[in-house]
Structure 1
């Protein structure tokens, strides 16, 4: 599940975007001015930021300077529709530029396109001492190869791609084992325990009572 930050000072527009993206299966967080958005970005990880340009305190262009080194994809949402404004936004590093008013169906298509493009280009993930090479399906821990089974590797990738989000055991099972009828929640628990031990994340993959597990980074 991709986590999206919506930075839009007009609450009705923000609420509509939030509702639509949530219904489409995304996890959304809303901020209404640039300063609070910068604070939120510092505290949390996001897969995509939808960014208005005309914001209180810190505008979208200024905030983009803060976001760019973090390699988080950005779609500008703005009423500024001139060619020069679009060029400026794209030159600052935005991945797309959508002018208001826009149709929600177009926003959803652009969100999906940017996320797909971003994840295709992200072949190597570095997180908390681990290096995960998606192309070769290899995992290094502080430079040393970790021998994971196919299911353990897929489980690790699921946690990393949903970091700081609580995942239900049922969701984990459906994602990793799909139509395999040989497992149950005990299968999930066993694989999580083995994965924790192999990569030394006993204190990072946390059990969530009556829910499942969460990777805390």
Structure 2
């Protein structure tokens, strides 16, 4: 069962989130300040952390920094601090999503499902010919040498390897990697594919399909 830790000092909000997630079949634990949250994280493994920022004892940013130094547990920040610079700060520190209070409980559930789906699908090591990709450590090895990729290049490579020999439309591939609606603009995706080809020396392997998408072509 998926285990979620809720670190929120407002008892009513904590109860609402916990009861809603339990009704959806999730296993939940609760903490009401940053220190209690840190203690639970030290003692247990969670599939997701829901984290307020303005917490007693240890604030949310400090706890997020601690979580990122000891592991890769997905984190969704839920905070009344909704200014753009606060959201940017949280995401740059390693949060997987940022929800501003007040929020709709349906939106929270959708965000939880999306983050869990994204992180859980990236769980197994994949190998094709001389390239191996480890989603957990987010490393790529080609012919025994590590290849440095950006975040989106890595996510793109993972989707192509996972769907080898499957023609993915630009829309589908873009939405899998960028996790946002495709609006028809192709330059971002195309430039990432070109850089990936160059870094992996895969000019003949990733091919355009009917000018609308891509596939990773693996023969044999």
TM-score range, shorter chain: 0.5 to 0.7
Tell me the residue number matched to 2:79.
78
**How far is the alpha carbon of 1:79 from its aligned partner?**
0.1
Alignment size in residue pairs = 126
Aligned to 1:30: 30
1:10 positional shift? 0.1
Match of 2:53 in 1: 53
Measure how far apart 1:80 and its partner are. 0.3
Matches of 2:88 and 2:37, distance apart in 1: 23
Partner of 1:11: 11
Question: Which residue of the partner structure matches residue 213 of structure 1?
Answer: none
Aligned mates of 1:12, 1:77 — CA distance in 2 = 14
Are residues 1:41 and 2:41 paired?
Answer: yes
- Partners of 2:103 and 2:63 in 1: how far apart? 22
Q: Which has the higher contact order (CA 8 A, sep 6+)?
A: 1
**1 CA distance for matches of 2:76 and 2:82?**
14
Q: Deviations over 1:42-87 (max 9, x none)?
A: 0001000000000001000000111013100000000001000000
Detail structure 1 runs of 4+ shifted over 6 Å in the superposition: none
Q: Over the residues paired in the alignment, what is the CA RMSD in angstroms?
A: 1.4
Deviation (angstroms), 1:121: 1.4
Secondary structure of residue in 2 paired with 1:29: strand
Q: Could you state the TM-score of these two structures normalised by the residue count of structure 2?
A: 0.56
Q: In structure 1, what is the Cα distance between the partners aligned to 2:123 and 2:67?
A: 17
Give the structure-1-normalised TM-score: 0.57
Matched residue, 2:67: 67
* Matched residue SS, 1:49: strand
Aligned to 1:37, the other structure's residue is in SS state helix
Residues in 2 aligned to 1:121 and 1:92: alpha-carbon distance in whole angstroms: 20
Matches within 5 A, 1:123-138: 123-124=124-125
Q: Which runs of 5+ in 1 are unaligned?
A: 125-132, 135-217
User: How many angstroms apart in 2 are the aligned matches of 1:82 and 1:26?
Assistant: 30
